[in-house]
Amino acid sequence: MGEFDLITRLFAPIADPESALGLQDDAACYTPPAHHDLIISTDALVSGVHFPENAPADMVAARLVGTNVSDLAAKGARPVGCVLTLCVGPQWDSSYLEAFAAALKTHLDSHGLPLWGGDTVSGPTALVSLTVHGVVPRGEMLTRKGAGPEQDVYVTGTIGDGFLGLKEVQALDTDERAALTSAYQAYAAPTPPLNFAQHLRALASCCMDVSDGLAADLDHLCAASGVAMDIALADLPLSEAADAYLGAGGSWQDLLSGGDDYQLIFCAAPAARDDLAVLAQNCDVRLTRIGMSKSAQSGPCRADFIDPDGQSLEIELRGFRHF
């Protein structure tokens, strides 16, 4: 399948009927709503780095959409459109590309994210990238800045499943993946709480997504907001898989620094507790209060993980580095 075939046969049918101009032009055209800011983010996935070289097409598409949508969720943004960069690797034949395009449509649709356009090239290694666009009412974007002391710290979903899912993916071959666990699903198809996030703009003082690991990302939030945090280890939301991992001698270190969670962490005033509980229920999101922010005057802007004995956990590798 050549470049133009690929665009005409696979991508034009899944592109946005209005903005994409049938993928027949040099650019897409989008009319932004009045009195809104545009939120822009981009995330790339490299074969053999961000997904296994033999990953099924659905996993590549789901992770591509999930990781990118996670950044829009972190800003409280409503998705409006995206463009795809597809670098086709030597092993991606026609049937693989067909499966990829179909899965891409499924996952974009599930988040209401239209495909505006893109670029297809080929190279020795497969790489996929999205640039995603969202909108927020002007001036209302959530940022990492804004937490004060004495605020509640929250996390959505569960923590550590991205790490455990990656372990599963690395350990299993394709046939064995029939027995999928929730951890595998969390890695293979992250589903950031996008709807929930759009209502969060009115309630949270700061927000970001957990992509590099809870420990590193809470530190980022602390640094940006100029606060410290006490996080209660016993309160961290874990899946059955993560519970079992700890029970079998696995370390907190792994769950807190493994990355790939694509959940949200944010702060909010204690007065918002009831509203947040209702919102989480309405959006079918698991929401957990895991600690409190505090003034950083007496120490560094970082999160301390406190065990039930009141001891602070030492975490060595605080988060994933791409290189």
Would you tell me which residues interact with a second copy (CB under 8 A)?
A: 2-4, 21, 24-32, 34, 36-50, 71-72, 74-75, 77, 81, 83-85, 87-88, 116-125, 127, 129, 131, 133-134, 138, 141, 143-144, 208-209, 224, 321-323
Output the 3-class SS for 214-251. HHHHHHHHHHHHCEEEEEEHHHCCCCHHHHHHHHCCCC
175 by Cβ neighbours in 10 Å (0-12 / 13-18 / 19+) ranks as exposed
What single letter denotes the amino acid at residue 313?
L
Q: Smallest gap, in angstroms, from Cβ of residue 40 to a second copy?
A: 5
* Least distance to a second copy, CB of residue 35, Å: 9
DSSP-derived letter for residue 33 is P
Nearer residue to a second copy within complex by CB, 167 or 220: 220
Nearest CB to a second copy, comparing residues 20 and 272 = 20
d(CA 306, CA 45): 34
Comparison of 121 and 278: residue with beta carbon closer to a second copy: 121
Angle of CA points 184, 48, 158, to nearest 5°: 25
| CB of residue 297 to a second copy, shortest distance in Å | 22
CA distance 188 to 182: 10
As a whole number of angstroms, the distance between CA 280 and CA 159 comes to 17
Cβ at position 229, least distance to a second copy in Å: 18
Looking at beta carbons only, is 23 or 183 nearer to a second copy?
23
The smaller minimum CB distance to a second copy, of residues 141 and 214, is found at 141
- When the beta carbons of 75 and 302 are compared against a second copy, the nearer one is 75
Smallest distance from the beta carbon of 306 to a second copy, in angstroms? 27
CB of 49 to a second copy, least distance (A): 6
Q: Please give the single-letter amino acid code of residue 241.
A: A
Measured CA to CA, the distance from residue 52 to residue 63 in angstroms comes to 12
